A and B are shown apart, each in its own frame.
Chain A
């Protein structure tokens, strides 16, 4: 049968890269007709709604997500982030633009090819878990594998591994309704990881959880990522979360990208007031690293050596315990690239 998912051989594992280019999405009765208004005339989100009765989902998104990193897409509700992530596995079709995953044009796939693509290459975790209430934890985790028609023994093996791995060892036979929110999302994560897809889409996966549980889950995700090295697209509206998990962060507003960069770029150089507002309550000590505030090395300076990737908060802890006011900052291969004083560190942690 054509288009049926079959168990994957390891030959699949090309470096997955996601390329979005010139992506537009307009909701309404005549998206194609409104496209020129948005693309060529620059009609904004509010105008589009008031004058043309169309809702602007995405505007000219160009994003290249490298393999094996966590790409965070951040924005407030209505900024288009959930729309954006659904274009990657084509749960939503764009009004214009291209989606290329692993060199494959997702828009050119037939229905059967698209199903095959979804079940083998991409797995997704949802904000409200979207577990199947009539299936037990184990049966939920097995869902993607059943769709791919793995044999029973392989399904049982993978299910028990992943259920155990996300910390639900004794809960396999329970129904989702009998679990707390945090545990339910562990099921969602296990269900996504069990298919062994290279790309993981996480749509506000932790947003519905209590802050403490959320931290736990972030930690678990980072641990898993250190080992699995998947390509993860992570949607959130929470800047702390974005800074903690993201290798790279894209900030969306009204469907368009307003800034892209790593945590330090965003915090140190917010592109506009909107982002500056966002970052103002952030604890800089937990985001900024020594390398970005060090001073040039001057001859004759001595002191303990600190790695350039050390967080300021950790540096403060170091200086508080150490017998020195000055330290050398090292870069690649331990080469000294600059110097830092306790004073510099403390100054940088408080916004000017």
Chain B
């Protein structure tokens, strides 16, 4: 005990082992006794995921492209983006990755919707109170920096392998930007305008819906855009716990050293990312049209 100044006085091994055993055992116990209930809680999500994936797979390829282009047109009003979307998806199909792409797209869309549904309200709460912000910010820091594999472990222990744990992992990874940028966007709303809303007797809800959210929308859209990108980046890791899609061939190519297979699937992910990025960014820009001045 005398040489604590030469060697770090670490806790002794037995205690550490006991601690790990206690935590692991406790968590295992927890997942054994409540796992079924928690799984049941996520059942509706699972049904929806399966349904949505089947829907995308059952839809003829040309109809999927038409619908996508419809969304792209509504969001961007840009022929360039539409043309790019068509070419990207035709190439993906030509190289035989259509089904995996649909699977990935379905999970990305669901994850993004969940991230928005949870993230925007959390961001709004953060913007309304400094204390909430002080609590949530470090949590977001952990979510963004903790290696994804680390929180895959408890999720898999609890729910096993499959779509739902995959979605949970992707959402944990991808939700911070939409929360942060919702918070930021609302905090950046001009104080003068807020005062004007107050002076006309607006309630906090009216102020939120009529002033804060519309003015924060471009920033919130930037957050949604980032969330989509991060969700796509997570696809490969999610494939490790059984999420089907473009990630699995990539995983297979790592283990078998199939360079071309990996590259093609990787490029398909990139293509998806670019399409979604351009569409959501163009939408964000169009919502700022009011900021433009007339000539002269």
Contacts and interface: CB of A to CB of B under 8 A. Distances in A.
Interface of A: 5, 89, 91, 114-120, 122-124, 126, 128, 130-134, 143-144, 146-148, 174-175, 177-178, 191, 195, 201
A266 to B, nearest CB: 29
A130 B195 contact: yes
Interface in B196-210: 196-203, 206, 210
B196 A130 contact: yes
Contact of B198 (A5, A118, A175, A195): A118
B291 interface: yes
B192 A130 contact: yes
A123 B217 CA distance: 28
B214 interface: yes
Highest count of chain B CB atoms <10 Å: which of A91, A131, A143, A174: A143
B193 A91 contact: no
B193 A117 contact: no
A177 B293 contact: yes
- Chain B interface extent, by class: 20 to 34
Contacts of A130: 190, 192-193, 195-196
B193 A132 contact: yes
Contacts of A134: 214-215, 217, 290
15 contacts: A115-B201, A115-B202, A118-B201, A126-B192, A126-B195, A130-B190, A131-B196, A133-B215, A134-B214, A134-B215, A134-B217, A143-B210, A144-B200, A144-B201, A177-B291
Contacts of B193: 130-133
Contacts of B293: 177-178
B283 to A, nearest CB: 15
Main secondary structure of the interface of A (DSSP, over half): mixed
A134 to B, nearest CB: 5
Contacts of B200: 118-119, 123-124, 143-144, 147, 191, 195
A146 B201 CA distance: 11
A126 B201 contact: no
A89 B211 contact: no
B199 A89 contact: yes
Contacts of A91: 195, 198-199
A130 B217 CA distance: 19
Contacts of B203: 115
Contacts of A123: 199-200
Given A132-B211, A177-B292, 13 more contacts: A5-B201, A118-B200, A119-B201, A123-B200, A131-B196, A132-B196, A133-B215, A133-B290, A143-B210, A144-B200, A147-B202, A147-B206, A201-B199
B188 to A, nearest CB: 12
Contacts of A132: 193, 196-197, 210-211, 215
Contacts of B190: 130
B294 A178 contact: yes
A126 B290 contact: no
A201 B291 CA distance: 28
Contacts of A124: 196, 199-200
A92 to B, nearest CB: 10
B196 A126 contact: yes
A75 to B, nearest CB: 20
Interface string B172-193: 0000000000000000001011
